[in-house]
Structure 1
């Protein structure tokens, strides 16, 4: 088992990575929580596969379990759904001493974190990550949020879990597309982290390679993210590096209206932003192609017709990373050397459209 320890001034927890964790949920949760009521939040894709077994394991460990299932997909990341879930916790008599487990991918993790942080001003929270996106990125670091209208992740909180469990056998039931979209975040992290990790992703030549190396990819990705978030929990400094590809990617994702997965949009965003910074001499020549090669190898998209459309720039204006008209864009001066490049929102059309 690999363990990545995440520690802040007032909170610490372990991210445990092992392919047998799906059989040890009861004992793992009991190692950090005393007997209590637990809500298991999952979605309509994950629930039929893993909810019943997870519930049995927790009940056998002495917990009282309330299953909560939401429709799969980004539409469940809303204040309306969060409010409904909070109402269900109240109806079942949950107190501040009880807990919530998010069993699922990034959407369930985000939604669960928001609900746990809001209910009675905060109840205990654990993540069991079942998607590659969650296993390499979203389950760690405490950023939780829901969407509002056409603005992604606009309402949320920083709320750290008590434990994160990562078991790559959960990936076996993902569709190929849902697996591959998470690899977009892996490539992002490898480019941010080091030449060593970037070389490692350069060895991933197929979807089957992702399965084969999933545990190592999770460990490396989470280790980097943990290092960053421990140094900057509330995203006032270097945690912004993790937004590499996301500012443009979020705009593309919203314009696609469900036609693109998050990791697919991030992949496109990474290529688009790196092309521009390479053109301007901020990033080294050849970096865009090196990133593109890693994405194309597993079938991730790298272009979008939405880039440069008027609605695209409108979404940049409404991005939560717009600070008084200035976007903090993430560039790579080299692999493993991210920098923040400030760009006025009004200058973005010229920055994007210039050849």
Structure 2
């Protein structure tokens, strides 16, 4: 078992990475949680694959459980679904010493964590992420939120989990589309902070070779996020580096109403588009865009901006939650493995987008 520990002010929590840990999850949770009740928030896809398995495992450890099942997809990150989940949690009679498990991908993690943060003004929760994207990114760092008509993740909070349990074996059931969706974030980590990780991604010759090295890939990615979160929990400085590709990516997702591109696909386009332009502007080392493009293409992700109305896209980008007043922060890379935050006027964003 690989283990990391996130240390933030007044709080620390473990991240466990181990193939097959889902088969003894009740035993592991019993080590850190002494009460009886556990509410499991999951989606219908994960429920079909692993729902009975996790529930039976928890019951063997003498926990009283309740499953709350939502529909998969970004549309579940809404006020209506949040209210429904909170109603079910309250019907279960949870108190502040009880536990919520967010068992699923990024949508379940964000929604479940946010529900835990507001029920009874906050009850403990555990992340058990089931997709690569959630295992290396959204389950760590305590960002929990829902979407609105105005944009993605605009209503939420910072609420750290009690622990994160990552089982790489769960990735074997993922459709390739969603496996590669998560690889966009791995590419991001390599591009902003870890040159060795990035070049390793270019070396893997097959999906099978990727899976042979998946624990190391997950561990390296989680380590980068852990280190950055420890230095900047509330996303006011260095943590912004994790948004490489996301400002444009979130704009693309919103522009297409969260229906055409997955999160990873949109982020891949965002990383490529802004790096191509920053290289043209002389900010980024020549050849960096081609390296990034090769990595993106290798994992079946898009790198070109689709046909869009430029003004509508810029408006969507301008509503991103990371923007402050008339200014916004964008993330650029000097070269693979080295990144920085640049503050610009919102009106200047089109200078960094090739449309």
TM-score of the alignment, normalized to the shorter chain, above 0.5: yes
Deviations 1:186-244 (A, max 9, x none): 00001112222222222134333332322111000000000000010001110000000
Deviation at 1:307, TM superposition (A): 5.3
Cα offset, 1:293, TM superposition: 0.5
Match of residue 111 from structure 2: 111
- 1:286 pairs with 2:273: no
Match of 1:330 in 2: 331
Deviation for aligned residue 1:353: 4.7
Match of residue 181 from structure 2: 181
Deviates more, 1:291-300 or 1:262-271: 291-300
Instruction: Describe the SS at the equivalent of 1:160.
Output: coil
User: Where does 1:191-230 land on structure 2 (aligned, <5 Å)?
Assistant: 191-230=191-230
Change (3 A) 1:13 1:351: closer
- CA drift at 1:256: 2.4
Task: Classify 1:140/1:76 alpha carbon distance in 2 versus 1 (closer, same or farther; 3 Å).
Answer: same
Structure 1 residue 168, shift from structure 2 partner? 1.0
1:64 matches 2:64: yes
The equivalent of 1:142 in structure 2 is 142
* 1:327 Cα deviation after fit: 1.3
- Structure 1 equivalent of residue 248 of structure 2: 248
Counterpart for residue 14 of structure 1? 14
1:276 matched residue in structure 2: 277
Larger displacement relative to structure 2 (43-52 or 343-352): 343-352
- For residue 202 of structure 1, give the secondary structure of its aligned residue in structure 2: helix
SS at structure 1 position matched to 2:306: coil
Contact 1:180–1:207 (8 Å) recurs in 2? no
CA distance in 2, matches of 1:307, 1:329: 20
Structure 2 contact 39–68 (Cα < 8 Å) conserved: yes
- Alpha-carbon spacing, 1:307–1:245, altered in 2? closer, same or farther (3 Å): farther
Residue-pair matches, total = 354
Contact 2:277 2:354 in 1 (8 A): no
Residue 154 of structure 1: aligned partner: 154
Residue aligning to 2:127: 127
1:308 deviates by 5.8
Quote the residue 2:316 is aligned against.
315
- Report the equivalent of 1:99: 99
* Aligned pairs (5 A) from 1:83-98: 83-98=83-98
- Residues 353 and 183 of structure 1: CA distance in aligned 2, closer, same or farther (over 3 Å): closer
Per-residue CA deviation, residues 317-348 of structure 1 (Å, 9 max, x unaligned), is: 21111111111000011222211111211122
Q: Report the Cα distance in structure 1 between the residues aligned to 2:300 and 2:216, rounded to whole angstroms.
A: 21
SS in structure 2 opposite 1:322?
coil
Shift of 1:306: 4.3
In structure 1, stretches of 5+ residues that fail to align are none
Match for residue 262 of structure 2?
A: 261
Specify whether residues 209 and 309 from structure 1 end up closer, same or farther in structure 2 by C-alpha distance, changes over 3 A only: farther
Sort the Cα spacing of 1:10 and 1:19 in 2 relative to 1 into closer, same or farther, 3 A: same
TM-score by length of 2: 0.97
The separation in 1 between residues aligned to 2:171 and 2:92, in whole angstroms, is 32
Contact 2:244 2:332 (C-alpha < 8 Å) held by counterparts: yes
CA separation in 1, counterparts of 2:324 and 2:195?
A: 31
Cα shift at 1:352: 2.5
Aligned pair in 2 of structure 1 residues 307, 352: CA closer, same or farther (>3 Å)? farther
Q: Counterparts of 1:312 and 1:207 in 2: how far apart (Å)?
A: 34
CA distance in 2, matches of 1:57, 1:222: 26
Cα 1:306–1:323 shift into 2, 3 Å: farther
Give SS of 1:5's match: strand
Aligned to 2:46: 46
Show the counterpart of 2:349: 348
| Kept after mapping to 2: 8 A contact 1:41/1:67 | yes
CA distance in 1, matches of 2:66, 2:196: 44
Report the secondary structure of 2:3's partner residue: strand
